[in-house]
């Protein structure tokens, strides 16, 4: 909206007698009137904004190793902040089965949501790999051979990866798969997708925190890891493999399943639980994890410590680190 401003002297000025030498004391008062002028976007302009980040992808029936149960997907983003704080990701698992789709809702900036959108699927994919494949990947790194591709990304042209942090991210991921190799006895066992998702979420959040504590001699990377750790992001991820659908969620992003009824109508089924003040189990968990004398203050105005609406998120280390650690970092 545009406005015109019109200045009108206060009527008391015309009759009020004031000493000539003190005239400046009375020039501070002003009265403004505005004339609103309406401004509308044209339909093409509206469509241009709505479609700027729109993305549709038709999944090939056969990805080279598995038959895909996903026909395709559509995604879109509409920025509420500049720059937008939210991210989305989609990728096909190449060394195992299934497809990963996720949305990441950032807060206090986009650094954490960007990092999670780049890294989480790799942690999930590694968690799903059998022991022999992990060994093959590690041996390839040791000998300098090309690595097996584990993900095929499906990204909008505006989506990007951080080239500056790629080596740091790779080293953290490698440490994770080395630990998985050491923990695994080599015996063949079925992969538990639920456990793999939980482990990947926890490990990435731990690495985000650890990278910020250790820091980096490169000033840009040091600044980046701190930004990632002190901002935050919720995450909601779906792993689709044949008739199996697993959903992992942290925070208040929500997964919904559209179901077509026998009469042709559609209904929406919630697949995830919000981690916020509307979730009684989350409220109880927070109270149990804090001293009894904080029971009335740990959640204020439906926010964690009166500040954060989601009770779980990646990053947000100021809610996870001790005061001493925050001062030291």
Cβ atoms < 10 Å from Cβ of 182: 8
**Which domain does 15 fall in, by range?**
2-43
Looking at the fold, whether 170 and 37 belong to one and the same domain comes out as no
Residue 206 falls within a domain, yes or no?
A: yes
In this prediction, residue 329 has a pLDDT band, given cuts at 50, 70 and 90, of confident
- Looking at the fold, whether 245 and 208 belong to one and the same domain comes out as yes
pLDDT at 69 over 50: yes
pLDDT tens digits along 292-323: 888 888 999 999 999 999 999 999 999 999 99
Is pLDDT at 32 greater than 70 in this prediction?
Answer: no
Using one digit for the tens of pLDDT, what is the confidence trace for 160-205?
999 999 999 999 999 999 999 998 765 656 789 999 999 999 999 9
What is the SS3 assignment for 125-192? Answer: HHHHCCHHHHHHHHHHHHHCCCCCCCEEECCCCCCCCCCCCHHHHHHHHHHHHHHHHHHCCCCCCCCC
Q: Are residues 193 and 96 in the same domain?
A: yes
Domain assignment present for residue 25? The answer is: yes
Distance CA 81, CA 213 (A): 29
Q: Indicate the number of domains in the chain.
A: 2
Closest CA to 221 of 160, 164, 162, 163: 164
Say yes or no: 126 and 229 in one domain: yes
In this prediction, residue 316 carries a pLDDT of 96
pLDDT-derived band of residue 66, with 50, 70 and 90 as boundaries?
Answer: low
User: Do 34 and 176 sit in the same domain of this protein?
Assistant: no
Q: Percentage of the chain with pLDDT > 90?
A: 68
Give residue 263's pLDDT. 93
Of the candidates 270, 279, 228, 278, the residue with the CA atom closest to the CA atom of residue 104: 228
Q: Name the more confident of 148 and 117.
A: 117
Q: Are residues 101 and 26 in the same domain?
A: no
My answer on whether 32 and 117 are in the same domain is: no
Confidence band, pLDDT 50/70/90 cuts, at residue 30:
low
Q: State whether 179 and 119 are in the same domain.
A: yes
Q: Does 113 map to a domain?
A: yes
Q: Is residue 23 pLDDT above 90, yes or no?
A: no
The whole-number average pLDDT for the span 129-158 is 93
Same domain, 15 and 127: no
- Report the CATH number that the domain containing residue 100 is assigned in CATH: 3.60.40.10
If you average pLDDT over each of 8-22, 60-74, 75-89, which comes out highest? 75-89
Report yes or no on 257 lying in a domain. Answer: yes
Q: Is residue 277 part of a domain?
A: no
Q: Are residues 153 and 227 in the same domain?
A: yes
Same domain (yes/no): 177, 228:
yes
Chain segment 197-244, per-residue pLDDT in tens: 999 999 999 999 999 999 889 999 999 999 999 999 999 999 999 899
pLDDT band, very low/low/confident/very high, at 37 (cuts 50, 70, 90) = low
Residue 17 in any domain: the answer is: yes
Encoded tokens for 241: 């493999």
- The first and second tokens of residue 320, run together, are 């996870």
Q: Please tell me the predicted confidence (pLDDT) of residue 20.
A: 47
Answer yes or no: do 72 and 174 share one domain: yes
Q: Is residue 223 part of a domain?
A: yes
Give me the chain's average pLDDT, please: 87
Per residue in 257-272, pLDDT (tens digit) is 999 999 999 999 999 9
Instruction: Judge whether 160 lies within some domain.
Output: yes
């Amino acid at each position: 909206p545009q406005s015109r401003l019109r200045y009108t002297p206060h009527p008391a000025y015309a009759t009020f007698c004031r000493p000539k030498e003190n005239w400046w004391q009375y020039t501070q008062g002003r009265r403004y009137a505005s004339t609103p002028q309406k401004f509308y976007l044209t339909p093409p302009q509206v469509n241009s904004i709505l479609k700027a980040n729109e993305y549709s992808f038709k999944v090939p029936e056969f990805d080279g190793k598995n038959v895909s149960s996903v026909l395709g997907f559509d995604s879109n983003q509409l920025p509420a902040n500049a720059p937008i704080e939210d991210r989305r990701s989609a990728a096909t698992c190449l060394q195992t089965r299934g497809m990963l789709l996720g949305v990441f809702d950032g807060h206090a900036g986009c650094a954490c949501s960007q990092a999670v959108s780049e890294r989480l699927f790799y942690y999930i994919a590694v968690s799903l790999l059998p022991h022999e494949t992990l060994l093959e990947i590690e041996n390839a790194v040791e000998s300098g051979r090309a690595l097996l591709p584990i993900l095929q990304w499906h990204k909008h042209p505006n989506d990007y990866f951080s080239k500056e942090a790629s080596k740091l991210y790779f080293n953290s991921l490698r440490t994770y798969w080395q630990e998985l190799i050491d923990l695994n006895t080599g015996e063949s066992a079925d992969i538990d997708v639920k456990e793999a998702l939980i482990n990947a979420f926890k490990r990435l959040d731990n690495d985000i925190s650890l990278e910020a504590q250790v820091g980096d001699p490169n000033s840009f990377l040091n600044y980046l890891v701190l930004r990632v750790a002190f901002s935050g992001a919720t995450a909601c991820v779906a792993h689709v493999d044949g008739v199996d659908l697993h959903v992992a969620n942290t925070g208040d992003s929500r997964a919904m399943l559209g179901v077509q009824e026998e009469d042709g109508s559609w209904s929406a089924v919630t697949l995830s639980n919000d981690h916020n003040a509307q979730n009684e189990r989350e409220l109880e968990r927070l109270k149990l994890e804090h001293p009894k004398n904080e029971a009335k203050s740990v959640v204020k105005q439906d926010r964690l410590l009166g500040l954060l609406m989601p009770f779980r998120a990646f990053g947000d280390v100021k809610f996870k680190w001790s005061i001493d650690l925050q001062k030291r970092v």
